[in-house]
Amino acid sequence: MAKNALWFLAVVLAALIQTTWPDTLKLQEVLPDLSLLLVVYFAIVDGEERAMFTGVLGGIYQDVASSAVLGHHVLCLIVVGYVVGRFSTRLITEHPAVKAGLVLCASVLHGLLFTAILYVQQPDIRAMYTIVTSVIPGAFYTALLTPLVFMILARAFRRHAGFQGGLT
Model confidence pLDDT, tens digit, residues 117-143: 999 988 898 989 989 999 999 999 999
Q: Name the band, by pLDDT with cuts 50, 70 and 90, for residue 116.
A: very high
Query: Which are the contacts of 164, defined by CB distance < 8 A and separation ≥ 6?
Result: none
pLDDT reported for residue 163: 43
Query: Which are the contacts of 149, defined by CB distance < 8 A and separation ≥ 6?
Result: 34, 37, 38, 41
d(CA 69, CA 59): 11
pLDDT reported for residue 165: 44
pLDDT reported for residue 161: 52
d(CA 162, CA 139): 34
d(CA 168, CA 160): 16
State which amino acid sits at residue 123: P
pLDDT reported for residue 164: 46
Summarize pLDDT for 71-81 with one digit per residue, the tens.
899 999 999 99
Summarize pLDDT for 145-166 with one digit per residue, the tens.
999 999 999 998 886 554 444 4
| Alpha helices, DSSP H, located in the chain | 2-20, 22-25, 34-46, 48-65, 72-88, 96-121, 127-130, 136-144, 146-162
d(CA 160, CA 145): 23
pLDDT reported for residue 145: 92
pLDDT reported for residue 167: 42
- Name the nearest CA neighbour of 32 among 100, 119, 121: 100
pLDDT reported for residue 26: 80
Summarize pLDDT for 14-73 with one digit per residue, the tens.
988 888 887 777 888 888 899 999 999 999 999 999 999 999 999 999 899 888 788 899
- Per the CB < 8 A criterion, the answer to whether 72 and 117 are in contact is yes
Cα distance from N-terminal residue to C-terminal residue, the chain: 20
pLDDT reported for residue 159: 62
d(CA 166, CA 153): 23
Average pLDDT of every residue of the chain: 88
